[in-house]
Structure 1
Amino acid sequence: MVKNDIAPGGTLVGRLRDDILAGRLAPGLKLQMTFLMQRYEAGQTPLREALNRLTSEGLVESRVQRGFYVSSVYPGELRELTKTRSWLEAIALRESMLHATPEWEEALVLAHHRLTRTPRSLAPDTFEDNPEWERHHRDFHNVLLSGCGSRPLQEFCVQLSDRLYRYRMLSIRKVFTTRHVRDEHSEILRLVLNGDITGATDALSHHYERTAEAVLKDMEALDASV
């Protein structure tokens, strides 16, 4: 299965990616080499290699004679990324369902079970990100696509998921008490297990569109980050 490499404590590029995706390195921030060397206890050469890697992923911008910056966030990019992710994941989910096996369905049910048993926030009334929930959330979405038979397609979907994670984190503190994400996941699972390909792919696309709409409504957060 293709997995998102955003767990802290991994490789240098993984740690940088994690900090960008989680917003600890804010959109538009200049990535000064002295700051990075102190923060990550690494030399200039491996840091430049890591930044170049993240530039190719769209998470870092390299500006001529100005250095590296965390890529900014834009409403237009959010819409385009969401649309592209919906297209590609609809293809991957359709192929997974067409080639469904009992093992794939069991893995999906198990991933959903783990997700639903894990609280989204570590605090009941205010948002405190729960890394365990994020891990199970990624696993559930990865398993959905894991039977598509195309590793490159899965990898493209993971890259889009990573880039959209930054946007999702911009508004999560305001919407987590009102957004019924658990119900959306359960509906996707139900449609998949019932073999309803059109219903399942539509539900998955609507799931992502609702996230985009929630972020776009929170224009104050977007404006503060650009």
Structure 2
Amino acid sequence: MVQAPSASVTPLAPPGLSTLATNLYDRMRTDLLAGKLEPGRKLQIEFLSDYYQAGPTPVREALNRLTSDGWVERRDQRGFVVKSISAIDLVEITKTRCWLEEVAVRESIAASSVSWEEELVLAFHRLTKTPRSLADDHYEENLEWEKLHRAFHRALIGGCGSRWLISFCEQLADQLYRYRQLSVRKVFPKRHEQSEHKDILDAALAGDADSVVKLLTSHYRATADIILEDSTLFPK
């Protein structure tokens, strides 16, 4: 009797390795978004293993995932490098976010419900009760504000009825968050975000989609314009 060839078996990863790589991915991604791993920096395996107290195998796996997600670049002869930034990239991301969130906002307002309005009002209320900076005389990051700020913008488009659209908007929000963190000390003293958020909220509750889109677009472009003026990021 001729035996059928045995099927090839993919070796299983050592127990716990996948979890280690996932945790490391989350930590590295957080540091990338916060600007702690600056654009263009070479990511050496030895350095990362020491910095994050992890073995080289989960470090490589995390870097491969970050490369697939677009946060890290793999270059010939240089290995892994933090994704670079550019003024063109910032403008393009901002423009695309405005396009997508216009659709999401219009759909959310068209399908407006009591629960959507309540969630939006609650998100705004929580945001206004949280200081932008932990210090009054200088900027000191308040992670709780960042979380609530994201929650407000997420609630605004949360009634659109498309998880795919929301996911794409979230990805762009992450990209812009990275730029904002790289220039946050320039952005912070020049913004009146609470009043901008209040105007957006009022227009949304009034069902005025055109005004919400106009205010939201101005809100995002104002941030981008301030960042573009930062000569440390974009030398003239």
With structure 2 as the length reference, what TM-score do the two structures score? 0.87
1:125 and 2:132 correspond? no
Q: After superposition, what is the alpha-carbon deviation per residue over 1:91-111, rounded to whole angstroms, capped at 9, x for unaligned?
A: 111111111110111011000
Q: Tell me if the contact between 1:170 and 1:222 (Cα under 8 Å) persists in the aligned partners.
A: no
1:66 and 2:78 correspond? yes
Q: Tell me if the contact between 1:57 and 1:159 (Cα under 8 Å) persists in the aligned partners.
A: no
1:37 and 2:52 correspond? no
- RMSD (CA atoms): 1.5
Count of residue pairs brought into register by the alignment: 215
Contiguous gaps of at least 5 residues in structure 1: 1-9
Q: Match for residue 183 of structure 1?
A: 195
1:123 and 1:158 map into 2 onto residues whose CA distance is 28
Q: Match for residue 7 of structure 1?
A: none
Aligned partner of 1:23: which letter?
A: G
Report the secondary structure of 1:122's partner residue: coil
The counterpart of 1:221, out of the listed 222, 226, 233, is: 233
Worse overlay, 171-180 or 182-191: 171-180
Q: Match for residue 4 of structure 1?
A: none
The counterpart of 2:167, out of the listed 155, 176, 200, is: 155
Q: Tell me if the contact between 1:88 and 1:157 (Cα under 8 Å) persists in the aligned partners.
A: yes
What is the correspondence of 1:13-28 to structure 2 with a 5 Å cutoff?
13-28=25-40
Q: Tell me if the contact between 1:92 and 1:154 (Cα under 8 Å) persists in the aligned partners.
A: yes
Q: Match for residue 147 of structure 2?
A: 135
Q: After superposition, what is the alpha-carbon deviation per residue over 1:191-216, rounded to whole angstroms, capped at 9, x for unaligned?
A: 00000001101111111000000001
Q: Match for residue 98 of structure 2?
A: 86
1:205 and 2:217 correspond? yes
More RCO (CA 8 Å, sep 6+): 1
User: What percentage of aligned pairs have identical amino acids?
Assistant: 55
Q: Match for residue 16 of structure 2?
A: none
Q: Tell me if the contact between 1:97 and 1:197 (Cα under 8 Å) persists in the aligned partners.
A: yes
1:185 and 1:15 map into 2 onto residues whose CA distance is 30
1:223 and 1:63 map into 2 onto residues whose CA distance is 24
2:179 and 2:235 map into 1 onto residues whose CA distance is 12
Report the secondary structure of 1:148's partner residue: coil
The counterpart of 2:124, out of the listed 112, 130, 134, is: 112
Report the secondary structure of 2:233's partner residue: helix
Contiguous gaps of at least 5 residues in structure 2: 1-21
Worse overlay, 184-193 or 64-73: 64-73
